[in-house]
Structure formats: C-alpha cells, structure tokens
Amino acid sequence: MKYLSFSLLLFLLCSGQAVFSQDSVNEYTVVDSLYREDQVYIGVTFNLLSNKPEGISQNGLSGSLQLGFIRDMPFNKRRNKAIGVGLGVSIDTFNQDLFIGEESDENTTIFSTISEDINTDKNRFTFYTLEMPIQYRWRTSTPTKYAFWRIHAGVQLGYIFRFKSTFIQEGNEVNQTDLPELNKLQYGLTFAFGYGAFNFQTYYGLNTLFNDDAIVNGENVNLQVIRLGLQFYFL
C-alpha cells in the first residue's frame, strides 16, 4: 500500500512537471519573433500657417484630424528598426483673414485681406487630404513588450481631393471650392516621439498651399502648413 501510494505520488509529480514543461514550451512558441508594429493611427493637431503675406494673420482655433494605417517593415534582427509606409486621410481647417472669392464676369480668383473694420462671422478654408506617410522607425520594443519608447521621422505625401473656403457675414456668404491656384499635391517632413499609445507629432510642409498665381497685396500667397499635436497608435 505504501509502495502504491509512493508510486502514485511520483507519477503525479512527473505528470505535473511534464504539463508545466509543455505549458512553458507552448508559452514560448506563441512569442512572435518576427513581429511587426503595424498600426492604426489617429492624430489631433493645432495648425499654423507660415510665410504669411503682410496683413494676413490667423484667428480662432485651427486644427486637423488624421486617421490611417501604417505597415511596419523591420530591417534588423532585433526588429526595433523599421521602415513604415502608410495610407490615411486628414481634414484641416484654418481660420484666418485671407478672403478667397471669384470675379463673376471674368471667372478669376480673388485673394484679398479682410480689414479689421469689416464685421465677419466666419472666414476659413478647409481641405481634405489623402496622405501617404513614409517613416524611419526606431523603438525599444520586444516581441512581448507592447508599451515602449518610439521615434518616427520621415516624409509625407498628400493629395488634396476637396477644398472649400467660406466667408460669412450678415446677409452675405461666399463659398469657393474650385480653385485653380491650389497646389493639390502636398509634401512635408514628419517627426513623432512618445511612449505607448501617446505620442507628440509635428508636420512641416515643404511646398506652398497655393501656386504663384495666388497674389494678395502684390505678394505671393506662399502659405505653408505646420501641424503640432498628438498622435495615438493602436496595434
């Protein structure tokens, strides 16, 4: 009886060790050593305009919302360095005192400064952009570590597929959507850093929003877009 009890105890111990070993192996095998940081991103930024012509200024809150997906392509053994290529959309709004209208008889665009003595309820332009970010990505991630430090730097290409300027005052509203002077192709530099899902981001446009045909007060409207804000990543 004692021998049977000892044998049963030994069997249970060996079985438990085998199960534990198997669990350890299974736990190890589910670790993906070829992991990628493919991510859905959401960005919220405050927008600025640089190279403003004399007499043009921003007023009110100008912002942007971005949404997209980035494919991660690691290129080193540790997989903490990668190239990211993505696709997304954004909406940008700028409140400012640049009036954009049209000569009805000549079908030409008017750019002018709204003087302070003119009462306006709203003057802004909004555009929607299809974006393709291309990034160099560095991070402190591991196959089992999902919260880590990251730095992303690169370029971003964009195509403006919808533009609308709006001027509203009492008894008068002017909307402009067809703008030949608009540079629909946009490109700029991007930089982001942070920890986990929360990251600071910036975008600096390298080309102007309007071409050389856009002139106000004898100057080219060489407006360039700057974004400053937050970006959230979700695996």
Q: What pLDDT was estimated at residue 31?
A: 54
Q: Are residues 1 and 69 in the same domain?
A: no
Q: Which residues of 55-91 are buried (b: 16+ CB within 10 A; e: fewer)?
A: ebebeeebebebebebebebeeeebbebebebebebe
Q: Please write the tens of the pLDDT for every residue from 1-32.
A: 444 444 444 444 444 444 344 344 444 445 55
Q: Are residues 140 and 218 in the same domain?
A: yes
> Percentage of the chain surpassing pLDDT 70?
85
**What is the total count of domains within the chain?**
2
pTM over 0.95: no
User: What's the one-letter identity of residue 24?
Assistant: S
Q: Are residues 104 and 220 in the same domain?
A: yes
Average pLDDT for the chain: 85
Domain of 98, CATH number, reads 2.40.160
How far apart, in Å, do the first and last CA atoms of the chain sit?
A: 58
Q: Please write the tens of the pLDDT for every residue from 65-77.
A: 999 999 999 989 8
Q: Which domain holds residue 20?
A: 1-30
In order of 173, 186, 226, the CA distances from 49 in angstroms are 24, 14, 6
Q: How far is CA 44 from the centre of its chain?
A: 8
Q: Are residues 15 and 73 in the same domain?
A: no
Q: Are residues 97 and 199 in the same domain?
A: yes
Q: What pLDDT was estimated at residue 171?
A: 82
In order of 31, 79, 112, 139, 151, the CA distances from 221 in angstroms are 54, 44, 10, 40, 34
Q: Please write the tens of the pLDDT for every residue from 109-168.
A: 889 988 877 878 889 999 999 999 999 999 988 877 778 899 999 999 999 999 999 999
Are residues 202 and 191 in contact, defined by beta-carbon separation less than 8 angstroms? Answer: yes
Query: Model confidence at 33, in pLDDT bands (50, 70, 90)?
Result: low
